Amino acid sequence: MATEVTLRRFDLSDVDAMMAWASDPEVAAFCRWAPFASTETEALLAHIRDTALSHQWYRAICLAGDARPVGSVSLEPTADPCRGELGYVVARAHWGRGVATAAVRAALAAVFGEVEGLARVEALVDVDNAASQRVAEKAGFRREGVLRRHYWHKGRVRDLVVYGFVSGDPLPPSHEDEVSMEREAAARTPERADEVTLRPFDLADAMTAWAEHPVLVPPTASMASGVYFSPPRDALLAFLRGTDPPHTWIRAVCLGGAIVGAVTVSRTEDRCRAEVGTALARAHRGT
């Protein structure tokens, strides 16, 4: 299931929700600001009033159906009015769930029409911040290079990866678009009984027979975090969503249209490398 977010302007009443991430040292680690102390409510209120509310483009990130902000995305002006720098931050409780990617994609879809004269949006990401780099790339930014020893950050000189998105660049398809295109293709191509195909999972697939039996589908290397297929339903749903463990790409393995397993692609510590994991019903092993 794709993560849906909405973007809106901040309000002073958002201070408590904002404190959840603004006071978190892990969230602030790659940000240019220091975390607020949890007791600094007045200081955070002043930040919302003097910075967020008066900013040219500063938005709260909210999950669909929930008005409480779980992060922020903003466009910082530069010396060139045709160019701005996008920054984004999401509460740690929502890391790895596609929230930041959805928010950045929504920002790129909106900001050119809302900021006069804007032609280019940049994202400058610390070279060690692999998660933020993945967000930028999945949201549609193009990696353009590395600025070596570019800025002083919390006691160290740092390298930055430069990402660019210009007006007219195509946004990548959303998860819903990908699912629709793959299903349309499947509908146009009748499946033979012996043909293996891949398709996105539906949450309705959660209780397929191969997934319910702990012997049929032992954990693979990609499932080393302990997601076994003898699960409570919530754990299996989390696996199908690709959030536990976090998968970059997950598909149902179908034989003649019936699901017989799963294949996943997971990131590794090296961003140039990924790991494939498979799980297959016992009846189809060796075939």
CATH number at residue 221: 3.40.630.30
Distance of CA 137 to the CA centre of its chain: 10
Helices (H), 115-228: 130-139, 175-188, 209-212
Residues 89 and 207 in one domain: no
Residues 10 and 82 in one domain: yes
Last residue of a domain, one of 115, 149, 166: 166
Residues 67 and 139 in one domain: yes
Residues 58 and 134 in one domain: yes
Last residue of a domain, one of 113, 146, 166: 166
Extract the tokens encoding 215: 């012997």
Closest CA to 199 of 179, 173, 223: 179
Single-letter amino acid, residue 109: A
Extract the tokens encoding 22: 């603004």
Distance CA 73, CA 59 (A): 5
Residues 116 and 15 in one domain: yes
Extract the tokens encoding 197: 């195909």
Single-letter amino acid, residue 190: P
Distance CA 257, CA 197 (A): 8
Residues 71 and 151 in one domain: yes
Bridge partners of residue 249, in order along the sequence: 265
Residues 160 and 277 in one domain: no
Residues 152 and 269 in one domain: no
In the numeric block, the tokens 């999401």 are attached to: 90
pLDDT of residue 138: 94
Residues 75 and 190 in one domain: no
Residues 181 and 162 in one domain: no
Peptide bond just before 173 cis, omega within 30 deg:
no
In the numeric block, the tokens 């007045």 are attached to: 42
Q: What is the pLDDT along the chain (287 residues), one digit of tens a residue?
A: 457 899 999 999 999 999 999 999 999 999 888 999 989 999 999 999 999 999 999 999 999 889 999 999 999 999 999 999 999 999 999 999 999 999 999 999 999 999 999 999 999 999 999 999 999 999 999 999 999 988 888 888 899 999 999 999 999 876 555 555 555 555 555 555 678 888 887 766 655 555 555 544 445 544 544 444 455 666 666 666 666 566 678 888 888 778 888 888 887 877 678 888 888 888 888 88
pLDDT of residue 156: 86
Residues 74 and 143 in one domain: yes
pLDDT of residue 175: 58
pLDDT of residue 236: 67
Single-letter amino acid, residue 151: Y
Domain membership of residue 17 as a residue range: 5-166
Instruction: Classify 101 as helix, strand or coil.
Output: helix
| Number of domains comprising the chain | 2
Residues 242 and 110 in one domain: no
Backbone phi and psi for residue 223, each to the nearest 5 degrees, phi listed first: -110, 25
Q: What is the pTM of this model?
A: 0.62
pLDDT of residue 136: 96
Last residue of a domain, one of 166, 195, 216: 166
